[in-house]
């Protein structure tokens, strides 16, 4: 039922599975109101930039629009 483990050349490896810490880490500090507002503003700025680039980029990406006026040089007027 209980098998002995094979000997390990390093004692700390054999002892590592027995060690359990009873020390709990300290609780995390709560963010202040200024930090929360700063993170919110940064997030909103990033989202607004992405939405703005999408809105300005969509007309350039659409292929169904043809140019309203074609360019002609003055040399082709045939004076």
Q: Tell me what pLDDT residue 62 has.
A: 80
Give the residue, 58 or 37, on which the prediction is more confident.
37
Buried b (16+ CB within 10 A) or exposed e, 18-48: eeeeeeeeeeeeeeeeeeeeeeeeeeeeeee
pLDDT in tens, 22-44: 788 889 999 999 999 999 999 99
If pLDDT is split at 50, 70 and 90, which confidence band does 70 have? low
What confidence score (pLDDT) does residue 29 get?
Answer: 93
How many residues does this entry show for the chain? Answer: 79
């Amino acid at each position: 039922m209980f098998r002995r483990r094979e000997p390990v050349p390093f004692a700390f490896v054999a002892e590592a599975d027995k060690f359990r810490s009873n020390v709990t880490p300290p609780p995390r500090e709560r963010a202040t109101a200024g930090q929360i507002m700063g993170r919110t503003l940064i997030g909103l700025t990033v989202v607004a930039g992405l939405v703005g680039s999408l809105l300005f980029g969509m007309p350039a990406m659409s292929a169904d629009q043809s140019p309203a006026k074609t360019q002609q040089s003055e040399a082709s007027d045939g004076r």
